[in-house]
């Protein structure tokens, strides 16, 4: 395992180091009252130290657990470091967690102190306070609305800092004590517990040491040559390992500046004002930007639209080659320059991506069209694959070796192997120290020789040598004839069509694959408007034969593309239907993070599933639904089922497969 300088093996030590070596460089910015406020590394140290001493006065000590709840604000990031300087362990919670989920995590982690952003979070804490016997102090950042609250256990963050400042000014020994407390921290100490939300069961607390996170961050910085001149914007949940590593550990390790947006809605404008150089976003962020652009372009004048369409098609053909530094004809290079002037440059400027050197997408599969679009206009978008248990990094794509369908090569210091059952395993310095208070679960995932079961099924792509993830391992099944069936892989292919919002592929243990589709009401609705299709509700639009035709064409394309892949060719979709209602978390069909709850859906729609396999061309279904105000009703419908054409796998590939 790599060793790190014992003087720089914890985050508070890194902060002191940064304040000493690059004290005048910006460490953090926050847009407040319309103006960017910044803090240098030296100022950050002062703020964190005052906060830290204040927390110590409130009773926070080594080994205590404390929580941080809220959106991306400098003070909440400082809270991490302020507590860690005392040897306490942060346990951040998702700001949108309902009080009940919050109570579970905080009780399980035995949290004694909470740093909450505002009234909303304080209210949640108060609501569940009787279930949190250990919680004895709540610190809040935003005083609005909290004036009249009982302040016996409640204190403003500013007041905590001024307690700290007073103490530091009054007692000369205090500074030395604080620095000793920082020096007492070791790389092998527990630095953070991050709770991961599972699709099944209660969430688990992933314990990461300083070493885990700092070595991972160092390696990532070296891999992409990130230095103190980078600018990033912090807008992803604080409690998520990605934000913790990108916006905190990597920033402290490289000394770069983290920018906090004004509000969640202003991220795009704020990003544009800062001109970030390094970006990380789940695919939906890129999808939303693109959809917004396309909708606006549809309203543009004919000339503008023509120019836009021409250059986008041109970028699709040549942009990636230019980005990867391949040889292209001079004329192409010239025309691309013109396109850059007219279309690509302004587009990137609108997105706030002009200065981006590297952009990552992870978390979910990204549509190849979207991926190619951004790369085509000259954005170096790459994929990575990671997990909380790995301190993020397992694989990443090196510059110039980008393929939309793979997730890259093993990150530095990471070893990967594929088990006999097809599951991806890894071993790295970032491997977590176990699940908090759950040795059973830890044993299931972490082998004695340090390998971690990711729970994902994947394989190394023979063409590129990069890892490809097909699905969650437990979801991968087989058809009756033994063909591999990876439902999510198929569903993702379907969902890349804007008209398809959700898809459920069924086939495990069956003769062939079928799919249930949810259309996207916005996309299909706008198509209906343009094509004079009249409809009154989702149900009516979903049942329209012309909508069926359109979806059938999409699935036909998916089948063609499945046929080209030797592993998946047997899993083409034979029959499909469009569901009469949208899948909804209120009905338990999706999780709150919009992931399918497959088992529940198949049970709920069993008459439809049956009809798929008994050859019926339509089926009657009645489902209970929960309306937004909580009352229940029943939706009944006759749903049509269509057959589809399938394609033979190319003979050559068949030969190789056999």
Partner 1 sequence: MRAPSSREAALGEVLLAVEDVSLSFGGVRALTGVSFDIRKGEIRAIIGPNGAGKTSMLNVVNGFYQPDSGRITFKGQVRKSMRPHAAAAGGIARTFQNLALFRGMTTLDNILAGRALKMQRGFFWQILRYGPAMREEVEHRRRVEEIIDFLEIAAIRKIPVGRLPYGLQKRVELGRALAMEPDLLLLDEPMAGMNLEEKEDMSRFVIDVNQQYGTTIALIEHDMGVVMDLSDRVVVLDYGRKIADATPDEVKRDKNVIRAYLGEPHGVSV
Dig out the tokens for 89 from the structure: 């362990």
Task: Single out the segment in contact with partner 1 by CB under 8 A; choices: 265-273, 535-543, 568-576, 605-613.
Answer: 265-273
CB of 33 to partner 1, least distance (A): 4
Give the CA count within 13 Å in the CB-facing half-sphere of 248: 34
For partner 1, the closer CB: 33 or 534: 33
CB of 585 to partner 1, least distance (A): 18
For partner 1, the closer CB: 144 or 631: 144
For partner 1, the closer CB: 32 or 549: 32
CB of 270 to partner 1, least distance (A): 10
User: Under a CB-based contact definition with an 8 Å cutoff, are residues 73 and 263 in contact?
Assistant: no
- Determine how many CB atoms are found less than 10 A away from the CB of residue 63: 10
DSSP 509-564: TSSSEEEEEEE-HHHHHHHHHHTT---SSHHHHHH-HHHHHHHHHHHHHHHHHHHT
Identify the CA nearest to 91 among candidates 264, 199, 281, 244.
244
CB of 295 to partner 1, least distance (A): 14
- Determine how many CB atoms are found less than 10 A away from the CB of residue 155: 16
CB of 521 to partner 1, least distance (A): 18
CB of 296 to partner 1, least distance (A): 12
CB of 248 to partner 1, least distance (A): 24
For partner 1, the closer CB: 148 or 420: 148
Q: How far is CA 537 from CA 439, 534, 619, 638, in A?
A: 51, 10, 20, 15
The secondary structure of 44-56, three-state, reads HHHHHHHHHHHHH
**Helices 41-57 + 11-21 axis angle, to 10:** 140
Identify the CA nearest to 638 among candidates 540, 554, 553.
540
3-state secondary structure of 12: helix
For partner 1, the closer CB: 32 or 326: 32
Angle at 427 between CA 421 and CA 433, to 5 degrees: 115
- Determine how many CB atoms are found less than 10 A away from the CB of residue 132: 18
For partner 1, the closer CB: 21 or 263: 263
* Cα dihedral sign, 15-16-18-22: positive
CB of 37 to partner 1, least distance (A): 12
CB of 261 to partner 1, least distance (A): 9
For partner 1, the closer CB: 119 or 129: 119
User: Under a CB-based contact definition with an 8 Å cutoff, are residues 398 and 386 in contact?
Assistant: no
CB of 299 to partner 1, least distance (A): 12
User: Under a CB-based contact definition with an 8 Å cutoff, are residues 429 and 212 in contact?
Assistant: yes
- Kindly report the backbone phi and psi dihedral angles of residue 114, in degrees, each rounded to the nearest multiple of 5, phi listed first: -125, 135
Task: Single out the segment in contact with partner 1 by CB under 8 A; choices: 46-54, 80-88, 264-272, 407-415.
Answer: 264-272
Separate counts of helices (H) and strands (E) for the chain: 24, 28
Residues 12-51 that bind partner 1 (CB under 8 A): 32-35
Among 159, 262, 438, 566, binds partner 1 (CB under 8 A): 262
x/- map, 130-169, partner 1, by CB under 8 A: --------------xx-x----------------------
Q: How far is CA 6 from CA 14, 182, 189, in A?
A: 11, 12, 12
User: Under a CB-based contact definition with an 8 Å cutoff, are residues 278 and 217 in contact?
Assistant: no
For partner 1, the closer CB: 263 or 349: 263
CB of 263 to partner 1, least distance (A): 5
Cα gap 450→425, rounded to integer Å: 10
Among 265, 440, 449, 481, binds partner 1 (CB under 8 A): 265
For partner 1, the closer CB: 266 or 464: 266
For partner 1, the closer CB: 24 or 33: 33
CB of 266 to partner 1, least distance (A): 5
CB of 145 to partner 1, least distance (A): 7
Among 129, 196, 266, 526, binds partner 1 (CB under 8 A): 266
Cα gap 604→599, rounded to integer Å: 9
Give the CA dihedral 360, 363, 367, 369, nearest 10 degrees: -10
Residues 535-564 that bind partner 1 (CB under 8 A): none
Q: Does 269 bind partner 1 (CB under 8 A)?
A: yes
Interior/surface letters 504-513, b for 16+ CB within 10 angstroms, e for the rest: bbbbbebebb
For partner 1, the closer CB: 129 or 266: 266
Residues in binding contact with partner 1, number by CB under 8 A? 12
The residue to which tokens 């204190």 are assigned: 155
- For the chain, the maximum distance between any two Cα atoms, rounded to a whole number of angstroms, is 84
For partner 1, the closer CB: 144 or 463: 144
CB of 272 to partner 1, least distance (A): 12
For partner 1, the closer CB: 5 or 265: 265
Cα gap 266→274, rounded to integer Å: 12
For partner 1, the closer CB: 269 or 288: 269
CB of 401 to partner 1, least distance (A): 38
For partner 1, the closer CB: 113 or 268: 268
**Residues at the interface with partner 1 (CB under 8 A):** 32-35, 144-145, 147, 262-263, 265-266, 269
């Amino acid at each position: 395992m790599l060793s790190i300088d014992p003087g720089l093996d914890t985050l508070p030590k890194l902060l002191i180091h940064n304040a000493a070596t690059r004290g005048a460089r910006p460490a953090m910015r926050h847009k407040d009252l319309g103006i960017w406020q910044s803090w240098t590394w030296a100022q950050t140290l002062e703020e964190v130290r005052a906060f830290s001493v204040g927390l110590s006065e409130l009773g926070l000590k080594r080994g205590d657990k404390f929580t941080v709840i809220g959106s991306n604000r400098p003070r909440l990031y400082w809270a991490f470091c302020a507590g860690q300087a005392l040897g306490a362990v942060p346990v951040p919670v998702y700001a949108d967690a309902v009080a009940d989920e919050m109570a579970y995590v905080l009780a399980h982690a035995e949290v004694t102190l909470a740093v909450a952003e505002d009234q909303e979070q304080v209210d949640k804490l108060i609501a569940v306070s009787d279930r949190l016997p250990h919680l004895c102090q709540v610190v809040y950042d935003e005083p609005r609305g909290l004036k009249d609250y009982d302040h016996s256990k409640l204190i403003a963050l500013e007041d905590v800092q001024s307690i700290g400042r007073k103490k530091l000014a009054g007692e000369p020994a205090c500074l030395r004590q604080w620095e000793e407390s920082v020096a007492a921290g070791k790389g092998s100490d527990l630095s953070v517990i991050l709770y991961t939300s599972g699709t099944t069961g209660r969430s688990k607390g992933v314990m990461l040491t300083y070493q885990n996170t700092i070595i991972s961050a160092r390696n990532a910085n070296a891999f992409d040559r990130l230095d103190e001149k980078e600018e990033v914007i912090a807008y992803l949940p604080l409690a998520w390992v990605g934000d913790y590593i990108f916006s905190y550990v990597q920033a402290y390790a490289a000394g770069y500046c983290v920018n906090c947006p004004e509000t969640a809605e202003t991220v795009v404008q704020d990003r544009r004002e800062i001109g970030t150089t390094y970006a990380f976003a789940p695919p939906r962020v890129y999808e939303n930007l693109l959809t917004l652009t396309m909708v606006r372009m549809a309203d543009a004048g004919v000339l503008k639209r023509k120019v836009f369409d021409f250059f986008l098609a041109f970028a699709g053909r040549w942009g990636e080659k230019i980005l990867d530094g391949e040889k292209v004809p001079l004329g192409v290079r010239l025309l691309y320059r013109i396109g850059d002037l007219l279309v690509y440059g302004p587009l990137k400027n609108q997105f706030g991506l002009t200065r981006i050197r590297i952009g990552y997408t992870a978390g979910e599969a990204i549509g190849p069209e979207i991926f190619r679009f951004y790369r085509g206009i000259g954005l170096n978008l790459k994929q990575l694959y990671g997990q909380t248990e790995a301190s993020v990094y397992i694989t990443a794509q090196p510059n110039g070796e980008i393929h939309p369908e793979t997730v890259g090569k093993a990150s530095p210091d990471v070893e990967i192997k594929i088990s006999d059952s097809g599951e991806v395993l890894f071993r790295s310095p970032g491997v977590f120290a176990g699940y908090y208070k759950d040795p059973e679960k830890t044993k299931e995932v972490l082998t004695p020789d340090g390998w971690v079961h990711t729970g994902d099924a994947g394989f190394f792509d023979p063409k590129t040598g990069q890892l490809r993830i097909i699905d969650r391992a437990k979801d991968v099944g087989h058809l009756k004839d033994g063909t591999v069936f990876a439902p999510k892989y198929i569903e993702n292919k379907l969902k890349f069509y804007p008209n398809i919002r959700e898809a459920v592929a069924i086939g495990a243990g069956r003769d062939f694959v079928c799919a249930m589709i949810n259309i996207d009401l916005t996309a299909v609705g706008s198509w209906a408007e343009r094509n004079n299709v009249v409809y009154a509700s989702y149900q009516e639009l979903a049942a329209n034969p012309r909508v069926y035709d359109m979806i059938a064409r999409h699935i036909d394309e998916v089948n063609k593309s499945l046929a080209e892949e030797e592993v998946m060719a047997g899993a083409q979709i034979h029959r499909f239907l469009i569901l009469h209602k949208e899948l909804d978390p209120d009905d338990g069909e999706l999780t709150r993070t919009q992931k399918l709850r497959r088992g529940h859906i198949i049970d709920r729609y069993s008459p439809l599933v049956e009809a798929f396999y008994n050859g019926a061309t339509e089926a009657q279904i009645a489902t209970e639904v929960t309306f937004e105000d909580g009352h229940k009703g029943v939706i009944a419908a006759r749903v049509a089922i269509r057959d589809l054409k399938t394609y033979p796998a190319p003979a050559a590939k068949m030969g190789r497969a056999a």
